[in-house]
Amino acid sequence: MVPPIDYETLKIIWWLLLGLLLVGFMVTDGFDMGAGALLPFAGRNDEERRLIINTVGPVWEGNQVWFVLGGGAIFAAWPPLYALAFSGFYVAMFLVLAALIVRPVSFVFRSKNKDPRWRAIWDGGLFVSGIVPPLVFGIAMGNVLQGVPFRLTEDLRPVYEGSFAGLLNPFALLCGLLALAMVIQHGAAWLVLKTEGDVARRARHFGAVAGVGAVALFAICGAIVWAGLVEGYVIRAGAAPGAEANPLAKTVAREAGAWAANLNAAPGKWLGPLVGLLGLGVAAFLLQFKRGRLALVASGLGIAGVIATPGLAMFPFILPSSSNPSMSLTVWDASSSHLTLFLMLIATLVFMPLIIAYTSWVYYVIRGKVSLEALLASRESY
């Protein structure tokens, strides 16, 4: 069967959809990871910590599916990226998996035993699993912007040539901190929306600090790229948008300032960094005025803008190779087949509206502040 949408368009649609999935993950799972990261700081005793945990109790599980779906969608839409990134970032990936494995059980196990040591262990699990994923994703993004040392064999077998320590370079670490700061502010906004009293007060405080930090880190990272200290990549030949996907059929050069030039080439792309800066900044401001809901929206937009920025700056690159630039993965030559992209689009168009509808209903059902009395009275709460 020949899909009714041309291959090039589908490749672009999937680039957009995978961006949206990443945003969906960081915005939804972001606030519950942020709440986890704030757990020991915003919750000073067992009851306060239970309150925090139960604000996200009914929704974290659905939120985490964005991550799982992201993995599946990358597998289906960009198999070479799935193969390369996860085997290349092997140890980093293991850390994220460990965090996301400990997370579900920490939620469910924690309050099923009164022993304070037992609870401390799972509180620790929630804290670590709130910190590690955003940190690692930020670091990964920082490395992607710089390019990652890898090559592909003639059979297109991906071979990562770097090391775990190599991922921990200064620029990438800044990006990691940026992701963490965003998530903390986002989690704080959620806590301000869902709680009252001391927990909300502390969340406001930490959230605003994290928000200001995020704005500063985003500006610094942006300046570093702008100044050309992080080199970009440019396609010199090959990689025709409608061609069948083989990442070995093009020539790519490294070039300082290439990423910034991409933004300038289409000024509309500046919307990304603009929304990022404004969203994060405005959220910090709104938190001061106890406007939890608006702050949550603003920080969500901020996160979306920050994530969109490298995507827009790098397009059509998705994973440049620093050691063999011509083997870089781009939207044009690392996508799935025409038919697969089309079928996946149909599946997404059918199910995504449903997902959004029932997820919204769940948030509607659990609306309002979480009260300690209600959660202590319920046997099902965490």
Q: Binding to another protein (CB under 8 A): which residues in 111-130?
A: 112-113
- Residue 84 or 189: the one with the smaller Cβ distance to another protein is 84
d(C-alpha 320, C-alpha 237), whole Å: 15
Rule CB under 8 A: choose which of 236, 358, 371, 376 binds another protein: 358
| Shortest Å distance, C-beta 137 to another protein | 13
Span 271-310, contacts to another protein by CB under 8 A: none
Span 150-209, contacts to another protein by CB under 8 A: 154-160
- Residue 303 or 344: the one with the smaller Cβ distance to another protein is 344
d(C-alpha 326, C-alpha 347), whole Å: 33
Question: What count of other Cβ atoms lies within 10 Å of the Cβ of residue 96?
Answer: 20
Rule CB under 8 A: choose which of 5, 6, 47, 105 binds another protein: 105
d(C-alpha 352, C-alpha 227), whole Å: 39
| Shortest Å distance, C-beta 156 to another protein | 5
Establish if 339 lies at the interface with another protein (CB under 8 A). yes
| Residue at token pair 């992607």 | 144
Cβ 320 vs Cβ 328: under 8 Å: yes
- Residue 288 or 371: the one with the smaller Cβ distance to another protein is 371
From the list 96, 137, 168, the residue with the least C-alpha distance to 303 is 137
From the list 132, 214, 144, the residue with the least C-alpha distance to 172 is 144
Please state the φ and ψ torsions of residue 45, each to the nearest 5 degrees. Answer: -135, 175
Rule CB under 8 A: choose which of 31, 107, 190, 315 binds another protein: 107
Burial class (CB in 10 A: 0-12, 13-18, 19+), 173: middle
The interface region with another protein, picked from 35-43, 206-214, 286-294, 348-356 by CB under 8 A, is 348-356
From the list 168, 198, 258, the residue with the least C-alpha distance to 43 is 198
| Shortest Å distance, C-beta 121 to another protein | 9
| Shortest Å distance, C-beta 42 to another protein | 21
The interface region with another protein, picked from 210-218, 242-250, 252-260, 304-312 by CB under 8 A, is 242-250
| Shortest Å distance, C-beta 336 to another protein | 5
| Shortest Å distance, C-beta 365 to another protein | 5
Establish if 376 lies at the interface with another protein (CB under 8 A). no
Span 37-96, contacts to another protein by CB under 8 A: 57-62, 64-65, 67-69, 71-77, 79-80, 82-87, 90-91, 93-94
Cβ 232 vs Cβ 259: under 8 Å: yes
Establish if 137 lies at the interface with another protein (CB under 8 A). no
The interface region with another protein, picked from 45-53, 98-106, 223-231, 254-262 by CB under 8 A, is 98-106
* Count of residues that interact with another protein, criterion CB under 8 A: 74
Q: Which long-range contacts (CB under 8 A, 24 or more apart) does 239-245 make?
A: 239/316, 239/330, 239/332, 239/333, 240/332, 241/7, 241/8, 241/11, 241/316, 241/332, 242/6, 242/7, 242/8, 243/332, 243/333, 244/337, 245/80, 245/332, 245/333, 245/334, 245/335, 245/336, 245/337
Rule CB under 8 A: choose which of 6, 223, 244, 371 binds another protein: 244
